[in-house]
Amino acid sequence: MELFWYIALLFMLTVYLVLEGYDFGAGIVHLFFAKSEEDKKMITKSIGPFWDANEVWLIASGGVLFFAFPTLYASSFSGFYLPLIMILWLLIFRAIGLELHGFVNNHLWKSIWNTSFGVASLLLALFFGIALGNIVRGVNLGMVDNGVSTQEAHYFFLPLWNSTFSPQANHLGVIDWFTVFLGVIAVIALTIHGANWVIFKTSTSLNQKLKKVVFTMNFALFAFVIVSLLIWHNIQENPYENFNNHPWLWIFPVISFVGIFGLFKVKSYKDGMGFLFSTLFLVGGFVASAVSIFPKMLPSTNDVNPSLTLYNASAHEYGLSVGVYWFVIAFALVSLYFIVQHKVFKGKMDHIHYGDH
């Protein structure tokens, strides 16, 4: 049952990354590339009916984490308390930036909330990349100091950064050069993803410019991904062990690179193809990162306390079994809702009214 819930959680987080990822990316495009008010309206129209529904997957993932892996939930929500609060506030300001923008027809008012929406989207993309970096890198479970565990084996707490800014320090911080590096990759990848979504869902004059942006940024994405694979050996011992032991897992890195290479021809594809390739990159890269540390869910950077895995961090077998029935019902309802929603709002969103008061 632990494996079932692990796959369910990983699937839900992947769906959240793809759906909310284009929301964040659209916000970054809105901040840097949309110069006219008309272009900004078109971007908000492209995500208007979807963005709040997409966040359901994050809430649902948190619920599954709480239910199926309570030890991991407790450990993570205490250890990452500061960045989680920051993410919560960023989600709030991003939402009210979208909702309050059209309440007053005043340039200063609109400028404030446009900036709130764009900056919050940028920082959320950065922080979620940093979060992935923390999971891959691991944390000091038990707060071991000089070989002695000073706290319970599953407890840790991280400041935002440490004085060395190193991912190999004894006292780690949330932000170091490795996690920031992955954060930058996330910003680039989600900007591309959001631009592809805007191209897919609108016919704005901005689209041709965005295709050039995607093509140019994809070179940076490719270079950063290659560098991240090279430095991974300095962060995690034998990072490709799972892939070598189970060769079928290489399909996920291959999917990711298919996405990158496909994006180089975004100018010649139909509008929706760019979004498909950026989705492949995100799905392949995220799942590959997760399975690289399997069965670990939160690695320990010390030899005193064990890593949190899907086996030692899970709930009782009986609870996991009973929960499957409720999960299937809830998943079916949510899936039905999303199918209907995307059927109603299929095609271009140019004539959809959103944010007008």
* Range list of H helices, 55-146: 56-68, 70-79, 81-100, 107-137
Per-residue pLDDT at 344 = 81
DSSP 152: -
Spatial CB neighbours of 10, under 8 Å, sequence gap ≥ 6: 287, 290
At 104 the pLDDT is 76
pLDDT at res. 277: 94
Predicted pLDDT of residue 355: 57
Model pLDDT, residue 6: 93
Token pair belonging to 97: 């930036």
Residue with token string 């799972």: 242
Residue with tokens 């923390």: 134
Question: What is the DSSP code (8-state) at residue 265?
Answer: T
- Note the pLDDT of residue 266: 76
* The pair of three-digit structure tokens given for residue 99, joined into one six-digit string: 């909702």
Amino acid sitting at position 315: A
Angle 177-201/2-32 helices, nearest 10 degrees? 70
Specify the pLDDT at position 354: 63
Low-confidence ranges of the chain (pLDDT < 70): 350, 353-357
Distance CA 345, CA 49 (A): 8
pLDDT digits (tens, 9 = 90+) for 222-243: 999 999 988 887 787 788 888 8
Which run of H or of E encompasses 357? none
Contacts of 208 (CB under 8 A, 6+ apart): none
The per-residue DSSP string of 291-317 comes to: HHSTTEEE-BSSSSSPPEETTTSS--H
Other C-beta atoms within 10 Å of 152: how many?
A: 12
Give dist(CA 96, CA 36) in Å, integer.
21
pLDDT at residue 353, as a whole number: 67
Alpha helices in the chain (DSSP H): 2-32, 37-47, 51-54, 56-68, 70-79, 81-100, 107-137, 177-201, 207-235, 241-245, 251-263, 271-292, 317-344
From the CB of residue 231, how many other CB atoms can be counted at a distance below 10 Å?
Answer: 12
